Amino acid sequence: MSTRFKPKFNIKKGDTVVVIAGDDKDLKKPRKVLQVILDKSRVVIEGVNIVTKHTKPSAQNTKGGIVKMEAPIHISNVMLWDDKKSTPTKVKRTREGGKLVRISKKSGEAI
């Protein structure tokens, strides 16, 4: 991704989203965003894209072994969840009092 302009996404850490594409697609099950990776346009979501990682024994993990963890997916494969309407929604951004506020297009309320 180009480093000239910083990308602007409507999804932040801690938001509830639904996966709209891929193996873990489920439009009725909202999940929490654990991390947003801006430079790669990816998000880590709890319980989505589980991969197994083989770890060597170390000072923190003396046993090592197989660890299951979430891997990032592309940000275009998720959609913000609207709690008021209980559906996925698009987002528009407006300025209120000098601050950018994210507003749900379905319910019209601030997120």
Extents of the domains making up the chain = 16-83
Q: Domain 16-83 belongs to what topology?
A: SH3 type barrels. (2.30.30)
Task: Give the pair of three-digit tokens for residue 17.
Answer: 């989203």
What is the pTM (predicted TM-score) of this model? Answer: 0.84
- Taking only the tens place, the pLDDT of each residue in 7-16 is 889 999 999 9
- Taking only the tens place, the pLDDT of each residue in 13-59 is 999 999 999 999 999 999 999 999 998 999 999 999 999 999 999 99
Task: Give the pair of three-digit tokens for residue 104.
Answer: 């749900």
How many other C-beta atoms are found inside a 10 Å radius of the C-beta of residue 73? 19
Mean pLDDT of the chain: 92
Distance between the two ends of the chain, CA-based, in angstroms?
28
Residue 1 has pLDDT above 80, yes or no: no
Matching residue, tokens 């300025």: 95
Q: What is the reported pLDDT for 4?
A: 79
The answer to whether 91 touches 100, Cβ cutoff 8 Å, is: no
